[in-house]
Structure 1
């Protein structure tokens, strides 16, 4: 494969540098560079204005984000004003928790993106949807917090990277643990050259569950009358309704890269911060 991807404005090496920083929890661009910034949807946000957030995905990880955002809403001057999930029960649970009216909950994320009051979206959906939802959000002028992995495939990541540069919105790819101060302190030490050139990093993960991995509880109330299965499948192969695949999607290649995208980032991303960002030492 050539250094310059066909049809892309970003080389593989350039992408890996930026994507590494992004995956470590750093924004591609910074809202803090100026007191105000223009949003493509039409709103111009001042430094003291409240940031209005829409949530795409209301499952387990998404609800963790929603709870933390609500608990810190006053301090961060944010407000969650809309929620979206293909499963009505999850949408309603999130909407009720946030105290939102029925009209603030929806199944189709594209309807949420049409809301011009929303400044930023929080995307916490299965991996096979990350690319398209982030691309659509950028086109709608929404700033984006995107759960890891950034995309399922490299060519998608290259396209999304270029889309963010084109639209000027902020994209942050999230991974738990990246805000831990120890990794950033280590990064400062490495950048300062205190320990010399870093040539080796090592991390580990050990799970030995007798019940197997990713065997999440299957909600017996979920069915095709209260869940949009076709929308959930999206770009994945079309198959009949499967509660097993819906609730345990990490076990299937059609929707996930498995350990590579679920557990590996929790070790990779902090190390990339600790070595000062950018590429791996070689």
Structure 2
């Protein structure tokens, strides 16, 4: 798949899933819900303040007839009940609405009712930029602050699994640093090289990995050619794995708010079920794309 629109179209043809949405009291969130319902992407159970939900829905002319509402005014409790709905099988996907990420993730990781597995939980952004003829996957800009090499390995595997689910059979992975040679004084370059070696040892499979690579060498063929980087990943990367959370966060926000016609979707990988986690500042379009991505992943 090469566009987010294609993801929506494929998701439309999959069996309907139910999304447990915590704290939907937000115009952009409910706008995305309305579009998803109109596209017959999925069903929704809304956990939140019923009066506020109806008030916002009325402002955007959304009837809510096809949504079940569970009236909970406390945000922590709303998040807990949304997670419970998925862990009990009542719903298939958890979605974050207008609530702090830390609050909902605390419930996702709850030992009794949460969705934790032995795998690491990591966030993947799927980006559609006008310059590129493919989707770009960026991880991790939301969950893991300073991952160890072993954690970075698992983050990479999560991103590869997502790309493969979107019909990219052997994704090209670039581990991002500021340079393309290992320098012990730059820890990110050492981390990236170790990830590349893991692929060579078949500890990470179904992909090609190159690291360390600067961002221009990962994405631009001419830059790679100029520096005589002949690795097939150089200039052709599908997945960008970053050593620190702020790198992916800055890249994502720089693209979204500094470039025109950029589209995105965001999802948490590694849990028992997909988790739609977008920024509160993200548009309804990004939230809709993320909903479609979660539906596709749960099928």
Please state which band the TM-score falls in when normalised by the shorter chain. 0.3 to 0.5
Give the alignment's TM-score, normalised by structure 2. 0.33
